[in-house]
Structure 1
Amino acid sequence: MLEFIVDIDPERDNAALLHFAFALARQHGARLAGLQVVMLSPAEAMVMPDAMLVLEEQEKAAQGRRDWWRELCRGHGVEGSWEAYRGFHEAVLSRRASLADLVLGRLSREAARLASSLNPLGRVLSTDAAPMLLVPDRWAGKGGVRKVAIAWNGSTEAARAVRAAAPLLLRADEIVVLDGASRIRANTRRIPLALDRWLERHALQARWEVLDEEDDNGQSIHERARGHDADLLVMGAWGHSRMNEWLLGGVTRHLLQHSEMPLLVVEA
C-alpha cells in the first residue's frame, strides 16, 4: 500500500490541498497520514519567557486534532492516521517522509515569492526524503490525477521526478511529454536518458511535444500543460544552481510562483 503524507498548517486554508489529497489517496488506495509540525520561530522563542509552555500547549492542541482527521478519512473512505511532532519543520518532515511515497503540501505563492533559497518552501523541497506534490490554494480540479504533463529536459532532476511519479503515471488516462531535451541533446556530453524507452518498459503511452527554444521556459510549459487540461505537472527542480534559480528566475521559480495546477517536484 502506498503512503502519502499531507503537511497541514492549521493557520492556513487547506481546503484545496485536502480535496486533492483525499481524491488522490482514494484513487490509489493509499494510506493518508496527516502531519502537523509544532514550532516557534527563533524570534518568538527569544521574546517569550514561557516559550516551552507555549510549545507544549500547541503540541497538545495539535494532537487533539486526531479525531478531526479520523472523521475526514472516514468520510472520504480513506485509511489514515494523524501525527503531530514538535521541531523544525523541514527536519521533521524530512525524517518522517523517509518512509513515505509522497508528501503533499500547499503551493503558496506568498512563500514562493520570496527570492531566496532559504525560505521555508525552498528548504522543504530540498529535504531529499520523498517527492513533493504541491497543490495551489485555488486549485479546483475534479479530483485524482487523470492527465499528467511531464516537463522533460533530460536532466537527472527530471528523471528522478518521472520515476517518483511512476505510481501516478500508471493510473493516469493520458500523459503528455513537453520535450525540451531533443533540441539540446546534440550540444551536451551528458549520458542520454531515454524517457521514451522508460515509458515503453512500463507499458505507458504518451503524446510528445517538442519545445522550441522560445518555448523552453516556465510560462510556456505552464500554458502548454494547462492547454492539455493536465491535473499534474511533473518536473525536476533547480535545473541550474539553486541560488541562481531563485535570484535570476528560471523554470523552477516561475512555476512555483505562478502555477495554477499541482506540481510534483523532485530535487536531485
Structure 2
Amino acid sequence: MSYKTILAYFARPDGVQGVMDAALPLAEKFGAHLIGTHVISGVPVTGTIGAQVPPEIIEQYAQHMREDAAAIKVAFSKAIKGAPVQTEWRQPELKVLGADILHLISEQTRCADLVILGQSDAEQRVGELTADIIIAAGRPVIVVPKNGTATNLTGKIVIAWDGSREATRAAFDSLPLLKEAQSVFVVSVQKRGGKDPVTSGCGELALSLARHGAKAEAVVLESSTAAGEALTKYASDNDCDLIVMGCYGHSRLRERLFGGATRHILQNMILPVLMSH
C-alpha cells in the first residue's frame, strides 16, 4: 500500500503554502501524482435569492471569488515550480450560491489515496467544512494547522487509540506514513484510577503495525483531563509531528465516549492531524 494520488484542497490564498509544505514532500517520497484544487463559489443568478440581492453586491462577491481563485492558482504554481513531482490543477466552479460545494469536493477526494487541506477558522462550528470533508471524503484526510509547520509527517507519529472502528480505519489508512516514521506511539487514554479494557488493545495494534515495519510502541496515559487535551499534551511534550485518529462526525454518543477528542483537536490544532471516518 502506498499513496499514489494526493489531492490538496485550498479554501483560501493564505492557506496554500501550509498545505503545500505537507503535500510536496509526501508526493516526492511516494512518487505520487499531486492534484491541487479549489472550488470557485458561485453567485445567485436566478430564483428568489438572486432577486433579493442587488446586482452590485453580486458583482462584488463574484469579483472577490475570482481574485481569490487567481491568487490560489498563482500560489500553487509558485509552490510546485522546480518540484520533482507530477502535478495537476483543477478549478471547478459552482454557478449558484448555496449549491453543494461539499458534493463537488467529495467527488474529487474519493478518487485520491490521500487528501490534504487546511484548518478551518477557530470560530467555525467544529471546523465546519473541514469536518464535513473528512466525513464525506471516504479517504484519509490530513488537516494542516494554520500556525505551525507540516514538513516532516514521517517523524514522530501519535495514534489515538480507543478501540473503535474509526480509530482502526485511521491507523491502517496511515500505514504508508507509519512504515516511514521515525517512531510511532499508539496512545490510549484512561481515566486516572480507572480500568479500561480498550487500553489492552493498543498493545495488539502496536504489534500489528510492527509486523508491517513500523517502529511502534504502546502507551497508556492516565489522565484526569479529556482525551483530546491529554493527546495534545502528549504529542507536544514528545515533539511529535503528526496525530492519527478516527473522526466521529456529529454523533453525540461517539463524542461522549471519546471525550470530544475530535472536536477538541480540530479546534485546537498544534500539529497536523490525519483523520479517517
Q: Which category of TM-score, normalised to the shorter sequence, fits these structures? A: 0.7 to 0.9
SS at match of 1:76: coil
Residue 82 of structure 2 is aligned to residue 72 of structure 1: no
SS at match of 2:27: helix
Q: Structure 1 155/61 Cα, relative in aligned 2: closer, same or farther at 3 Å?
A: closer
Q: Report if aligned partners of 1:109, 1:256 keep a CA contact under 8 Å in 2.
A: no
SS at match of 1:180: strand
Structure 2 residue runs without a partner (length 5+): 95-99
Distance 1:65 1:108 in 2: 16
Which of 40, 47, 51 does residue 53 from structure 2 map onto? 47
Cα distance, 1:114 vs structure 2:
3.2
Q: How many residues align?
A: 260
Q: Structure 1 8/58 Cα, relative in aligned 2: closer, same or farther at 3 Å?
A: same
Structure-1 residue corresponding to 2:173: 164
TM-score by length of 1: 0.80
Which of 70, 77, 82 does residue 89 from structure 2 map onto? 82
Q: Report if aligned partners of 2:243, 2:272 keep a CA contact under 8 Å in 1.
A: yes
Residue 186 of structure 2 is aligned to residue 177 of structure 1: yes
Distance 2:105 2:63 in 1: 19
> What pairs up with 1:60-209 in 2 under 5 angstroms?
62=69, 69-87=76-94, 88-110=100-122, 113-115=123-125, 119-180=128-189, 183-185=195-197, 194-209=204-219
SS at match of 2:38: strand
Q: Report if aligned partners of 1:70, 1:80 keep a CA contact under 8 Å in 2.
A: no
Q: Structure 1 77/175 Cα, relative in aligned 2: closer, same or farther at 3 Å?
A: same
Cα distance, 1:56 vs structure 2:
10
Structure-1 residue corresponding to 2:271: 261
Q: Structure 1 227/64 Cα, relative in aligned 2: closer, same or farther at 3 Å?
A: closer
Structure-2 residue corresponding to 1:252: 262
SS at match of 1:150: strand
Q: Structure 1 133/20 Cα, relative in aligned 2: closer, same or farther at 3 Å?
A: same
Distance 2:242 2:35 in 1: 21
Structure 1 residue runs without a partner (length 5+): none
Cα distance, 1:251 vs structure 2:
0.9
1:141-169 Cα shifts (integer Å, max 9, x gaps): 54342211111111111000011101111
Identity %: 26
